[in-house]
Amino acid sequence: MSLISVEEALNRVLASAHQLEPETVSIDEAHGRTLSAPLRAKRTQPPFDASAMDGYAVRGVDIAKIGSALRVIGESAAGHAFQGELGAMEAVRIFTGAPVPDGGDTILLQEYAKREGDTVIVETSEAIGRHIRKTGLDFAEGAILLEAGHRLNERSLALAAAMDHGHVEVYRKPRVAILATGDELVRPGEAARHDQIVASNHLTVAAFVRAAGGEPLQLGIAGDSFFALERGILAAEAERADVLITLGGASVGDHDLVQSVLIRRGMELGFWRIAMRPGKPLIHGKLGDMSILGLPGNPVSSYVCARLFLTPLIRAMQGDPNAASDPSEPAILGCAVRQNDKRQDYLRSELVIDPDGLPVVTPYEVQDSSMIRVCAEAGALVIRMPNAPAQEKGEKCRIFRL
């Protein structure tokens, strides 16, 4: 099977994504969830004319003249509206957020007035209508304010609550099983032989899953045997995983058995080699309704592939219409880069902001895909297209900001 482009690989991954069924959750648990239906306002906001400032609710015509004296007939506070109607040359003491009493059309700021017992004297006039938030200033009942496919962030969550939704309909969280593979791996904190390394990719991938709105299911580490790998795949099926992520064993070495075991279990192979660096040996397929992504074992390769393919897959399964959107942005090269070969490159780079506010990126000299420290320190990935010509310092490029 020949190498395919990053763009084609992403299109195939997203085309294979099945949209999950909706469920209803409490608004308290809805942060980060994706709406499966449009959200209409169940009330008007504000539901009444409200004061935007502390002061006095008055009739604008009554305060046109400096020195006018108005009789204070009551008070209106948030949650405690004045019960009555405001008449000529009358005022109601009012606080921010409180309902403006009937008959009032202006707020006289407290610093523009002098209070003497039950009388308030105008020291500075206000234009009619000042400092009042009119009914429906924010939104009206029945208006669709959040569309299906919108992922609820802290701001839109506040909007949904203000619309009076105690529960919202969202797509179920994708269940993503994560299976690390390799006889050389031990868990962090466990005793390791001199010929073993500490597993870290499963934690990286789980973080990507959570950030995209999924639920990670850690299946542990499977050794390099058909039996161990098959047992891990069976565990993913038993967990009713929507996605199975395998880590390592995706290449063609004698100990790279993942693809063979998956095919023996019935996986329909989509592709397994991409024209990219790092991350060339990535397995994609379907095992029944379960999507398969076999990520490379090198930590940086695993990281880049998760960012490029796993995050969009999880979002697509939740109905996100922007799952395939390009998150890259322009930047300036901080050093020269040589001509690229036929693989799309993602160079770990230092990122600084120049005096004009532009991101300047300088790729690290050593780009080995095993180097976790360099990846952790990087501020961006510089994207080099296949066969891109050499570029000089100061020329424009595209980056993924990290």
Here the CATH number for the domain that contains residue 294 is 3.40.980.10
Identity of the residue numbered 193: R
The verdict on 31 and 166 lying in the same domain is: yes
Residue 354: CATH number of its domain: 2.40.340.10
Indicate which CATH number applies to the domain containing 158.
3.90.105.10
Q: Tell me: cis bond preceding 281? Omega within 30 of 0 counts.
A: no
Instruction: Provide, for the chain, the percentages of residues in helix, strand and coil under a 3-state DSSP scheme, each rounded to the nearest 5.
Output: 20, 35, 45
Phi, psi at 376, each rounded to 5°:
-65, -35
Res 112: pLDDT: 97
pLDDT of residue 254: 55
Give pLDDT, residue 252: 61
Assess whether 247 and 377 both reside in one domain: no
Both 79 and 182 in one domain: the answer is no
Q: Residue 333 burial (CB < 10 Å; 0-12/13-18/19+)?
A: buried
Q: Tell whether 249 and 202 lie within a shared domain.
A: yes
Task: Please spell the DSSP secondary structure of 286-326, one letter per residue.
Answer: EETTEEEEEE-SSHHHHHHHIIIIIHHHHHHHTT-TTTT--
Q: Evaluate whether 20 touches 318 at the Cβ level (below 8 Å).
A: yes
Q: In terms of DSSP bridges, do strands 175-181 and 113-116 run parallel, antiparallel, or are they unpaired?
A: unpaired
Cβ distance 138 to 47 under 8 Å? no
- What's the total number of domains in the chain? 4
What the block records as the tokens of 152 is 């609820």
Would you tell me how many other CB atoms lie within 10 Å of the CB of residue 365?
7
Does a structural domain hold residue 322?
no
Same domain, 204 and 296: yes
Retrieve residue 190's tokens.
Answer: 């466990």
Contact 394, 375 (CB under 8 A): no
Q: How far is CA 297 from CA 177, 248, 301, 305, in A?
A: 16, 4, 7, 11
Instruction: Identify the pLDDT of residue 1.
Output: 57
d(CA 367, CA 358): 24
Note down pLDDT in tens along the chain; length 402 residues: 589 999 999 999 999 999 999 999 999 999 999 999 999 999 999 999 999 999 999 999 999 999 999 999 999 999 999 999 999 999 999 999 999 999 999 999 999 999 999 999 999 999 999 999 999 999 999 999 999 999 999 999 999 999 999 999 999 999 999 999 999 999 999 998 999 999 999 999 999 999 999 999 999 999 999 999 999 999 999 999 999 999 998 766 555 689 999 999 999 999 989 999 999 999 999 999 999 999 999 999 999 999 999 999 999 999 999 999 999 999 999 999 999 999 999 999 999 999 999 999 999 999 999 999 999 999 999 999 999 999 999 999 999 999
Distances in Å between the Cα of 52 and the Cα atoms of 131, 167, 255, 306 are 5, 30, 70, 48
pLDDT on residue 251: 67
235 and 120 part of one domain: no
Considering the domain architecture, whether residues 123 and 26 belong to the same structural domain is answered as no
Is residue 1 a part of any domain in this protein?
no
Handedness of CA 314, 316, 318, 322 (dihedral sign): positive
Q: What's the pLDDT at 198?
A: 94
CA 75 to chain centre: 44
Residue 185 lies in a domain: yes
76: CATH: 2.170.190.11
198 and 291 belong to one structural domain:
yes
Total residues found in the chain within this entry? 402
Q: What are residue 377's phi and psi, to 5 degrees?
A: -85, -20
Q: Where are the alpha helices (DSSP H) in 143-272?
A: 154-162, 201-211, 226-238, 258-264
Residue 65: count other Cβ atoms within 10 Å of its Cβ: 9
Residue range(s) defining the domain that contains residue 333: 329-401
Same domain for 228 and 276, yes or no, is yes
Q: What is the pLDDT of residue 249?
A: 84
Tokens for 354? 């120049």
45 conformational bin, left if phi > 0, alpha if psi -120 to 50, beta if neither: beta
Residue 211 and residue 303 in one domain: yes
